[in-house]
Structure formats: C-alpha cells, structure tokens
Structure 1
Amino acid sequence: MTRQQEAHGPAHGRAMSTPLPERLDPQLRARFLHPPQRRVLDQLWPGGPATFPQDAVVGVDPGHRVPVRSYRPADGPDPAPAVLFVHGSGFTMGELEQFDPHCDWYARAAEAVVVSVGYRLAPTHPYPAALQDAAAAWQWLHDTAAQLGVDPTRSAIVGSSAGAAIAAGLALYLRDHGQPLPSLLLLHAPVLDDRHRTASSHAINDERTWHRAASLRGWTSYLGPAGPPGGESIPAYAAPARATDLAGLPPTFFALGDLELARDEVLDFATR
C-alpha cells in the first residue's frame, strides 16, 4: 500500500467526515469561528508597506495593457533577486492593492524586488487571459531588469491559491517554449486540478472556508470556453495537475494545510 493509499484508508475517511472546526488545532479554532474584522487586520500591518510600491503597465498587445506593482526593500541589494507574484481569490477577484501586505512581506523577507501582476479576471476574461498577462509581466521583468535593478537569473515565481494554478501553468509554458525559467517556483495553498476527484476535494464543504462548491464555480469561470471542470479538453497550462510530464520544472516549494480542499491533488503533483 502506498503512502497516499494509506492516507485515504478507512481511518482517514472517518477523520475527514468530522466537522471542520473540530479538526482544527484549538489555537486556530476561535479565529476560524470568529474571524478578525478588517480593522484588526490593519493593525497587524501598521503604516502600510515599507517597500515603496511603484505602479506600471505592461503591454500584451496593442489593445491591452496589464497593471503591475513593484515593491523594493529600502536596504536591499543592487541588483536584487526578482519575484513575480500572482495573487489568488478564486480566479474571479483580487486587486493589486489588496495584496500589498503579502508582497511587502515577500520583498522584505527575501530582500527581493517583487512584481505583482494585475491579471484579467474570469469570467469576463477566461483562460488563457490570466496566463497571457502573467507571461507578459514575466517578460517585462526580464526586459526591464536593468531599470528595475534586478538579477533575473535569481528569480522566483510565486502563486497563491488560484494564482498558483496560473504560476504553475506559466512555468510549464516557459519550459515548453524554451523561455527563461525561474530559480524557484513557490506555490502557496495551490489549486492545480479542475477535476475534483480526490478525497480532500469531497471532504471540504464548510462554507466558512474555500469549499467544493466555491472551487467548482471558480474553475468554471476560469476555464470558460475551454470546457467545464473535469472535461476532456482542458489544457495543462490551465490546470497544471493534468500535465503528464513534470520534468524540467524549477525547484518547487509547496505550502499547504492538511484541511485544504486541494491537499491531495497538491501532494500528488509534488510527488510526481
């Protein structure tokens, strides 16, 4: 029996059927049941960003330009490592300023210049719009490396949640087209598979967290004309778990929790 089969055995099934709050660590349960208000979150980040965010636009084609926001730590190296950040929010939501705290933290912790991409959102702009925008931002980062003061040979692509699907899809695209790959692919709370066939994808249904119904709605919006979630024609650039060959990707770091809907698909992707 494989480790994954053991994880999906009868004992695991009983644990997965336990209500979600009861499965949380006691130190986290109160925060889950009574989430902090916005004013409390603001107190955790007093004074705003310490990395002097600068806004720019990136041309994709004559009719479309992508907003990007860059963050530079005050005392960082020159040239600095570079990070492309692809935000989450279910493929359908998210504004650049919403992720200032995340990008500010990455920039200061890594002493890197972080470029956050304001990609087009589904369902108005389904796949491949977001991937095209992220690819354009990645190319812009390389084309303007001298002006940005970054070393593109020391770089990372960071994707969070739905942004991790876009980030991993971008890495696959770069590999297949012989374009520069990052030194690191960092996927935080990633969603990678539209098919929702795993045990964890069936187990997380609590509407107070990212649950099965919300995930299916997000994937439906993102895939659009490419087909419904679970369809036969979905490309791996849209749903990276569908890739049959993961060779040649950069070193990849996965950050996920045991109680996440996408847990099993991420473990399978990481194992492969």
Structure 2
Amino acid sequence: MNRRTRLLTSAGRRLPRPDPPPASYLRRVRREIPRPVARVVLGSVSRGIAITDHVLPTTPYAVPVRVYRPRRAVGPLPLLVNLHGGGFVFGNLGGADWLCGQLADRVGAVVVSVDYRLAPEHPAPTPYEDAWAATRWLLEHATTWGADPGRTVLVGESAGGNLGALVTLALRDRQRAEPGAPGLVGQVLLYPSTDLTMTSASATAMVDAPVLSKRAIDWYGRQYVPQGLPHSILPDDPRVSPLRAVDHTDLPPALVVAAGLDPLRDDALAYAAALQRAGVPVRTVLYPDAVHGFVSIPRFEPAAAQALDEAVTHAVSCLLAATVHPTAEPHPKG
C-alpha cells in the first residue's frame, strides 16, 4: 500500500459510525462530493461523455439512475449496468462517476449506474430488489437509451458486486423459465462481497485491515442483515450470499478482481473458483498490495488504472463475442 493510499484510508477509519445511525448522520455521509472536488480527489470524466440523471418507472419503487453516453456515438451501443459499492449503507452515483465515465468512453457503451435504496432504512433484500428491477427494466427497454439489449454487461463493485452476482443468477433463472428473455453477455465483479457470513481466512485474519476493518464489516452487517426481526435474513442465505447459491452453471463469462489487503479477498477468489467449477469462463486478477475499494480512488491507488484496463478488455471481449458486427473496441491506455 503506497503512502497516499495509507493516508486516505487511515483518515477514513477514524470516521465515527454510530449504531444505529441517525438520519442526520446518514444524510451527511451519503451526500455526493461536488463534481469539481470529485474530479480532483477521485478522477475526472471525459468531456466526450454526456451525463444525465433519470428515474426508471419501476415498481414498487422508481429507481434513480445516472446515464453516461459517448457524445459522438451513433447507432445502438452496448449497454453496461453498474451497481456501486458502499457496504449496502453508503455509496452514491457520484462516487461511481469516474469508473462509469471511463467505461462509457473506452468501451464505447451506454453505461447506466443504479441508485438502489440503502440500509438500515431498507435492509436486505430491498437493495437487491431495486438492482433486479432496474436491470430487468433496462434490458427490456434498452432501446430507450440507444442501446442494444443483446450486448449487455453487468458491473458491480464491493456490495454492488454482491448485488450484481445475485442479479446475474436471477437473470439466468429467468432465461431458463422464459427462453428468449434478455440476459447478460458478461459480468465484471470488483472485490465482490459474496459470503456475508464473513468466515473466510482473509476476513478472520485481517481484523484491522485498511478501509474495511472487522469492526466496520460487523457494523455494515448489522445494518444490512439485522437479526431477531420477523423477516430477518441469515447471512448464509443464498438471497444475500451468492457464494452459497446451489447452482452457478450457465452464467456469462466473468472477470473477478480481488485486492490483497482486503478482508473480502478470499470470498472474491472463492466465488471465482465456484464459477470455474461450474464451467463458467472466468478471469481472476489479484492485486496483492491493493486495498478494498481501490478502483474508486484512482488518484491514490495506481492499481486502479490496471484494473480498469482489465474491466475494459473483458467487457469488450464479451461484447465482441455477442455480435458478428462489433461496434466497440477499447481505446489505448492513457
């Protein structure tokens, strides 16, 4: 871990996390960083990308989304659906601007980032239900955005990787029940949380990890999967832990990125291994010196650019395989 990342993560670990968190605290920490500041701290979005905010007419909750589209693009473009991270409690559309803007620019795709509801106001399974409703609507109405539903890749980071894996499984099940239903051609899971029991070797050993200590993990868990309530979901339930799913077959090709200094490292690697055993094409990339969430801090973490290269290459490879007339190629790094 480099010095700049160490300074950033040490500051983040000192932030108080009241339990239960009052509404005033949640409003404050969920507030989007102003874009001029975000460009300096997190990275900028290319001027060639148009950014617009919308609300999907999904039911029972109308899900807000942010759409990134290359300004000079013509014809139906590939579609990338992004699910941001934040431990199911934090995270917002602004925090994903750099990643989504880079993907839209370099893949040549329409990227739609989903603003699912958060715990503790909306514990499991609500964030998944929002992610599922939004992804399903986007696939069924891709032409609304000038996108091709037959060339869709899902991207999920951290908690969003958990939701992305669950949505991918659900889309597989839907296609089995409804042949011809739209689905995915690829999935990109960035240090996903795949087993909420947090009993892996890395989760047990890295109790004082940067960014994501055991104290923080336990706090997130109490907000997202509170126990002792009439409708509580256990952490080992496949509805919240995709690693615990019975069947991982017939899923689209996956890129799984893991960070070496991340308590979720082994869960990400275990999910990649489960996909491989099920016959799913998987590329697994481990960045030994990276911390959890490193793709979201490209100004601080050099490995973010490398991981972005991997995501672009994987997405384009899946999209090229899905069509005889490819319309997207990765731009050179830089």
Retained in 1: the 8 A contact 2:118–2:127? yes
Retained in 2: the 8 A contact 1:58–1:136? no
What secondary structure does 1:258 align onto? strand
Distance 1:216 1:188 in 2: 21
Alpha-carbon RMSD: 2.3
Aligned with residue 227 of structure 1, among 209, 227, 233: 233
Q: CA, structure 1 residues 133+53, in 2 after alignment: closer, same or farther (shift >3 Å)? A: same
Instruction: List gaps (5 residues or longer) in structure 1.
Output: 1-23
Deviation at 1:204, TM superposition (A): 1.7
Specify the alignment match of 1:267 in structure 2: 269
Aligned ranges 1:4-19 → 2 under 5 Å: none
Are positions 1:110 and 2:107 aligned together? yes
Aligned with residue 216 of structure 1, among 215, 218, 239: 218
Q: Which amino acid is 2:233 matched to?
A: G
Distance 2:200 2:209 in 1: 19
Q: CA, structure 1 residues 167+47, in 2 after alignment: closer, same or farther (shift >3 Å)? A: closer
Of residues 90-99 and 40-49 in structure 1, the stretch that sits farther from structure 2 once superposed is 40-49
Q: Which amino acid is 2:8 matched to?
A: P
Specify the alignment match of 1:246 in structure 2: 248
Are positions 1:72 and 2:69 aligned together? yes
Q: CA, structure 1 residues 45+250, in 2 after alignment: closer, same or farther (shift >3 Å)? A: same
Aligned with residue 204 of structure 1, among 196, 206, 217: 206
- Of all paired residues, the percent bearing the same amino acid is 34
Q: CA, structure 1 residues 204+77, in 2 after alignment: closer, same or farther (shift >3 Å)? A: farther
Retained in 2: the 8 A contact 1:194–1:216? no
Aligned ranges 1:38-187 → 2 under 5 Å: 42-43=39-40, 45-46=43-44, 50-62=48-60, 64-178=61-175, 179-187=181-189
Distance 1:205 1:61 in 2: 40
Distance 1:246 1:46 in 2: 37
Q: CA, structure 1 residues 41+117, in 2 after alignment: closer, same or farther (shift >3 Å)? A: closer
Specify the alignment match of 1:33 in structure 2: 6
Cα-to-partner distance string for 1:231-252 (whole Å, 9 max, x where unaligned): xxx2x13110111211011111
Distance 1:32 1:69 in 2: 28
Aligned length: 240
Deviation at 1:121, TM superposition (A): 0.3
What secondary structure does 1:52 align onto? strand
Q: Which amino acid is 1:155 matched to?
A: T
Distance 2:43 2:267 in 1: 33
Cα-to-partner distance string for 1:133-191 (whole Å, 9 max, x where unaligned): 11221122123222211111111110000110001011111112225321111001111
Deviation at 1:77, TM superposition (A): 4.6
Q: TM-score, normalised by structure 2?
A: 0.66
Retained in 1: the 8 A contact 2:44–2:98? no
Distance 2:189 2:45 in 1: 28
